[in-house]
Structure 1
Amino acid sequence: MDEVLLRSLTPSVLGILVRRGADFAAAEDAVQDALVEAIRVWPADPPRDPKAWLVTVAWRKFLDATRTEAARRRREDLVDEEPAPGPATAVDDTLQLYFLCAHPSLTPSSAVALTLRAVGGLTTRQIAQAYLVPEATMAQRISRAKRTVASVRFDQPGDVATVLRVLYLVFNEGYSGDVDLAAEAIRLTRQLAAAIDHPEVAGLLALMLLHNARRASRTAPDGSLVPLAEQDRSRWDTASIAEGVEILQAALARDRLGEFQAQAAIAALHADAPTAEETDWVQIVEWYDELARLTDSPVVRLNRAVAVGEAEGPRAGLAALAALDDSLPRHTAVAAYLHERDGDLERAARLYVEAAEKAPNLAERAHLTRQAARLNARLRR
């Protein structure tokens, strides 16, 4: 059973049902039922035209679900409109589905869940496992999201920036359960790049490829975090890096710079350095300046302070940090790192402990605690 094929066909099958007159929620349920049927039937009896098979079965599932007295007349009209069996239409509704699932009325978590169901073809169980929540909780979240977009016109223009933010949220979830969400986000972004010619879509795809290329080196065998400077660069995926850089260069050549292209440029400079010491921090600071102009994000300015500390020395980094709100996430961790670089080990150790207490997850907390312990051990010598 080719699950990747099933997932890739999901958007177009769903789009066909919607264009035939099914409301989005009912169509999405019918497509999911058809996918389950495909998993059961295809291994023993694979269809010659998988897409046409899914359309036929999903349409029948939809009709079965709407077989009530109140819907009888409309159902009969829909049956009359059903085309004869044969190859499925080549119209691709993937782009419209992206926009629908990233509708501004949805919360980010609901938009991500709906995108994974409707565009990604994942089951509710798979999405629930990936987010470490009960299946019933995820089912409720998806049902609410489908009700929210039920009245949205399928052909209305969408906001590319919103779609990209949703895909980036999917990517940053990483891996959990039996679904690799980073890989799934890359697959979905490739689909979007094939459906729309937009430099920021290319920029996001390049960014994902460049970040994911370093994935194998980000954690030690015991699961602990490995900082970028300490990663084994021989474990980086050079093919993904090369592809990401090529996609990024083509996007930048169009001279329509966006935040994902700028982020990808920073990631490319890290990937291009043979060693941490050879990183071109001066160019990275320049790209952070561009990114700050595009987003005016305090998190970007926080990362820029780290880059300034590397390019111009820790005191310059601390000066850049002083201009920022110290309640920012990871502000204390950055301060600890820069004070350590500046030789103030006692203050750095105290800040590492404080940063560990504020850490958003166990892995980061353990990493910061180890940094504090390392400096305290040095101070006791």
Structure 2
Amino acid sequence: MDPAEVGAVWRIESARIVAALTRFTGDFGLAEDAAQEAVAEALVSWPLNPPASPAGWLMATARRRAIDAIRRRAALKDRYAQLVPAPVIEEEIDPDRIDDDILSLMFISCHPVLSPEARVALTLRVVGGLTTEQIARAFLVSVPTVQARITRAKKTIAAAGVPFELPPADERRERLGGVLSAIYLIFTEGSTATSGDQLVRRDVAYEAIRLARTLAALQPDEPEVHGLLALCELTAARFPARTADDGSPILLEDQDRRRWDLSAVRRGLAALAKASPRGLGPYGLQAAIAATHASAPSVEATDWDRIVVLYEALGRVAPSPIVDLNRAVAVAMASGPAVALPMVDALAASNRLPGSHLLPTVRGELLTRLGRHSEARTELELAARLCTNPQERSVLLRKAAAL
């Protein structure tokens, strides 16, 4: 079993392992540290002696590491004695079992004592199983910054004595924004991976969808929970048509829409209907954009004017440079590249997307459509240098070479 396979098991099982250890030890930081030690040991042990039950092996090893750590803490001798008769955690883990333990873990990660940035970074690490590098790319910040946020967050949670339990209903609403943001970023990493040789990491994306479904069942009166679920379902509906057999990306205009997952579309539209009666928030508006794409038979037949209006509304309730860039793309489709290019140039001049390959990608596309091929090639080559996903990078290089 190679390191990639170890990583795959960890991504799938990390939240369950950390949640179970947190319930077992009552110490969130200790649980996460013990789980990480188990993964480090797996990287050495599994290539030589693959376990019959990888998830069970990680759970058992992490549990032993946690108990060893408690033994080493002189101040916690009495607490360790109380743990001895505790029931043994089952080593067999049902990979489809989602229970309140994971949601409890998410609400701990999104506790109000933490800053918004720390809440999302910690949740992505312990619930999503993402590496600090992946989280850094999602936030467009440095790896040391993410590491510092996670370390401070765990220390803050320990100092505040945050219990491992689902908070009361009124406290859940207070922490809901951080939980939704974490699920969304987990899904985003799965739907367009920032690293590795796959464009789509379905295991990560579907884990986010499962968490969103569970959260919707727990908080059925929260419109934005349904809005996020709708966005994830409608985006995932395109997965079967997004890549070729060799894993290379298929652009939206070239996708065979007959391969889109109609069941996911129906689920997404049903969730969007639940989000709509009280007005759409940021996730609901993004879901409405995805629904507009899902209802169109082709790119040309898409209601781009509606998408422009939805992006304008999204920019008012949740302004961000990515929203501005996406609105420019929609404007280009609705009114032409000449109208959209000044919007992209203004965004570039503001330097609000440093290091991102998305802006030069869009600018290169617009310049190509305007016949300014030399400038377009320069932008696409820059985008390829900045892109961290090899599948996306190959598409950008092919486009640049064609010019």
TM, length-normalised to structure 1? 0.70
Cα 1:116–1:151, aligned 2, differ >3 Å: closer, same or farther?
Answer: farther
- Change in CA separation of 1:7 and 1:128 when aligned onto 2, cut-off 3 Å: closer
User: For the structure 1 residues 110 and 360, does the alpha-carbon distance in structure 2 shift closer, same or farther, using more than 3 Å as the test?
Assistant: same
- Of 319, 322, 325, the residue aligned with 1:299 is 322
Structure 1 position 78, deviation (Å):
7.2
Q: Is the radius of gyration larger for structure 1 or structure 2?
A: 1
Deviations 1:191-228 (A, max 9, x none): 22222232112111111111111112222233332211
User: Which one of 208, 231, 239 corresponds to residue 255 of structure 2?
Assistant: 231
Partner of 2:3: none
Instruction: Provide the C-alpha distance between the structure 2 equivalents of 1:205 and 1:61, rounded to a whole number of angstroms.
Output: 36
CA distance in 1 between partners of 2:394 and 2:343 (Å): 27
- Alignment match, 1:212: 236
SS in structure 1 of the partner of residue 287 of structure 2? helix
Q: Where does residue 159 of structure 2 map in the other structure?
A: 151
Tell me how far 1:348 sits from its aligned partner: 3.0
**1:294 Cα deviation (Å)?**
1.1
Q: Look up the match of 2:118.
A: 106
CA distance in 1, matches of 2:333, 2:310: 14
Listed one character per residue, the Cα deviations across residues 156-181 of structure 1 (whole Å, up to 9, x for unaligned) are: 63522221222122112227699811
Residue 25 and residue 273 in structure 1: after superposition, are their counterparts in 2 closer, same or farther (change >3 A)?
same
Call closer, same or farther: CA 1:359–1:76 in 2, change over 3 Å.
Answer: closer
In the alignment, structure 1 segments of 5+ residues that lack a partner are: 43-53, 84-90, 118-126, 377-381
Q: How many Å apart are 1:265 and its aligned residue? A: 0.9
Distance 1:32 1:323, change over 3 A: closer
* 2:248/2:391 contact within 8 Å kept: yes
Aligned positions of 1:54-69 closer than 5 A: 66=70
Cα displacement string for residues 261-299 of structure 1 (whole angstroms, at most 9, x for unaligned residues): 111111111111111111110110010001100122121
Aligned residue runs from structure 1 range 79-228, under 5 A: 92=100, 94-102=102-110, 103-104=114-115, 106=118, 108-116=120-128, 144=151, 146-152=154-160, 153-154=162-163, 157=171, 158-174=174-190, 180-197=203-220, 198-228=222-252
Paired with 1:179 and 1:307, the residues of 2 have a C-alpha distance of 27
The 2-side partners of 1:314 and 1:72 are apart by: 69
The 1:194/1:64 distance shift into structure 2, 3 A limit, reads: farther
* Alignment equivalent of 1:247, drawn from 271, 274, 292: 271
Q: Is the 8 A contact 1:66 1:75 kept in 2?
A: yes
Rounded to whole Å, the distance in 1 between the matches of 2:345 and 2:55 is 63
The aligned residue for residue 90 of structure 2 is: none
Q: How many aligned positions are there?
A: 336
Asked if the contact 2:15/2:126 (under 8 Å) is kept, the reply is no
DSSP-derived class of the 1:279 partner: coil
CA contact (8 A) 2:226 2:271 kept: yes
Please, what is the CA RMSD of the aligned residues? Answer: 4.4
Asked if residue 365 in structure 1 is aligned to residue 393 in structure 2, the reply is: yes
User: Is 2:335 the counterpart of 1:312?
Assistant: yes
Q: Which structure is richer in relative contact order (CA contacts within 8 A, separation 6 or more)? A: 2
Is the CA contact (8 Å cut-off) linking 1:95 and 1:196 kept in structure 2?
Answer: no
Correspondence 1:16-55 to 2 at 5 A? 17=24, 22-26=26-30, 39=53
Between the aligned partners of 1:299 and 1:321, the Cα distance in structure 2 is 11
Contact 2:121-2:150 at 8 Å conserved across structures: no
Letter in 2 for 1:273: A
Higher deviation after alignment, 346-355 or 194-203:
346-355
1:317–1:26 distance in 2 versus 1, CA, 3 Å: closer
Counterparts in 2 of 1:38 and 1:339: CA distance versus 1, 3 Å: closer
Tell me the distance in 1 between the aligned counterparts of 2:154 and 2:128.
13
SS in 2 for 1:150: helix
In 2, Cα distance between equivalents of 1:210 and 1:261: 11
Task: Tell me what 1:336 maps to.
Answer: 364
Query: What is the Cα deviation at residue 239 of structure 1?
Result: 0.6
How far did residue 128 of structure 1 move? 6.3
**1:70-110, Cα deviation, whole Å (9 max, x unpaired):** 54544566789x89xxxxxxx94554421212343737544
**Closer, same or farther: CA 78–343 of 1 in aligned 2, 3 Å:** closer
TM-score in terms of structure 2 length: 0.67
The gaps in structure 2 that reach 5 residues or longer are: 1-8, 43-50, 88-98, 136-142
Give the Cα–Cα distance (whole angstroms) in 2 for the partners of residues 31 and 342 of structure 1.
Answer: 53
Conserved? CA contact 2:122–2:150, under 8 Å: no
Give distance in 2, aligned partners of 1:192 and 1:332.
37
